[in-house]
């Protein structure tokens, strides 16, 4: 049984990560990724995020995606959060979102993104080559996974803290830790060079027990 971190613990850890990596005040420490299956309604989880966090709207090919994006944008304005739209810069522009997230497949065949002032652009990565591709694109940060074993990708080789830290040290852009992160192992990332942590179901109900992984 996985014990999730409370909002207060997330805030404390995100501050440690941001300060330790040198990105404090420039990048969010915590990123919530939405998922149509594991987090069908992301609004309660988003409302529980610490101020300054970010949300990546995935919910690919789901009817009502734009409407959900509008609800999240309204919440972000009230709560001091940022909203990034995954895989669709046009929707991000339409909603007045704070940026765009590129899935790894899209980072390999990148669209021409408008350089809207102040936009935060992130990319997903599962390997060093993917990180280097993201860096060449000029994105602001990458989400690297899986750091720890995760039930959402059974059998996938986990990076572990040391490998993650080595990649973060030698990568020319900030990296977020994603995958298998729980209350018992998240603090091991404090000196890893991570810019912050990113999660799906692990942020669904802060402080509540669940069998799902980050």
Q: What mean pLDDT do residues 178-198 have?
A: 84
pLDDT digits (tens, 9 = 90+) for 112-134: 777 788 999 999 999 999 999 99
Which has more confidence, 3 or 214? Answer: 3
- Closest C-alpha to 49, from 197, 182, 177: 197
The pLDDT value given to residue 7? 57
Mean pLDDT computed over 69-76? 98
- pLDDT value at position 1? 38
Rounded Cα gap, residues 93 and 85, in angstroms? 9
- Is the pLDDT score of 69 beyond 90? yes
pLDDT (mean) for 52-56: 95
Main-chain dihedrals φ then ψ at residue 120, nearest 5 degrees: -100, 125
Q: What is the pLDDT of residue 206?
A: 52
Task: Delineate the domains of the chain, giving CATH numbers in brackets.
Answer: 2-210 (3.20.20.70)
DSSP state of 26: T
Name the residue with tokens 């940026």.
99
Q: If you average pLDDT over each of 20-24, 117-121, 185-189, which comes out highest?
A: 117-121
Helix or strand run (H / E) with residue 18: helix 7-21
Q: Which is higher by pLDDT, 116 or 44?
A: 44
pLDDT for 157 equals 85
Per-chain mean pLDDT for the chain = 85
| Residues 119, 100 contacting (CB under 8 angstroms) | yes
Q: What is the pLDDT of residues 83-105, one digit of tens each?
A: 999 999 999 999 999 999 999 98
Q: Could you tell me the two tokens for 119?
A: 């936009």
pLDDT higher than 60, residue 4: no
Residue 192: is its pLDDT beyond 80? yes
Beta carbons of 27 and 140 less than 8 angstroms apart = yes
What is the reported pLDDT for 151?
Answer: 67
Q: At 16, is the pLDDT very low, low, confident or very high (cuts 50, 70, 90)?
A: confident
User: Do 65 and 42 form a contact (C-beta atoms < 8 A)?
Assistant: no
**CA–CA distance, 63 with 45 (Å, rounded to integer):** 20
pLDDT band at 213 (very low <50, low <70, confident <90, very high): very low
Task: Please report the pLDDT score of residue 2 as a whole number.
Answer: 42
């Amino acid at each position: 049984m996985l014990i999730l971190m409370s909002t207060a613990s997330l805030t404390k850890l995100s501050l440690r990560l941001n300060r330790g990596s040198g990105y404090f005040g420039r990048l969010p420490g915590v990123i919530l990724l939405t998922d149509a299956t594991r987090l069908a309604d992301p609004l309660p989880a988003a409302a529980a995020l610490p101020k300054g966090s970010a949300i990546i709207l995935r919910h690919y090919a789901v009817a009502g995606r734009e409407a959900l994006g509008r609800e999240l944008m309204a919440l972000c304005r009230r709560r001091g959060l940022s909203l990034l739209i995954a895989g669709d810069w046009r929707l991000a522009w339409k909603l007045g979102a704070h940026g765009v997230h590129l899935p790894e497949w899209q980072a390999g065949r990148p669209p021409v993104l408008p350089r809207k002032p102040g936009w935060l652009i992130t990319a997903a990565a599962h390997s060093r080559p993917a990180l280097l591709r993201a860096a060449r694109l000029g994105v602001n940060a990458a989400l690297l996974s899986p750091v720890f074993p995760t039930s959402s990708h059974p059998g996938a080789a986990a990076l572990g803290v040391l490998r993650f830290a080595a990649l973060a040290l030698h990568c020319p852009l900030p990296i977020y830790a994603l995958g298998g992160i729980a209350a018992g192992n998240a603090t091991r990332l404090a000196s890893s060079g991570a810019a912050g942590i990113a999660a799906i179901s692990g942020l669904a109900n802060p402080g509540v027990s669940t069998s799902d992984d980050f």
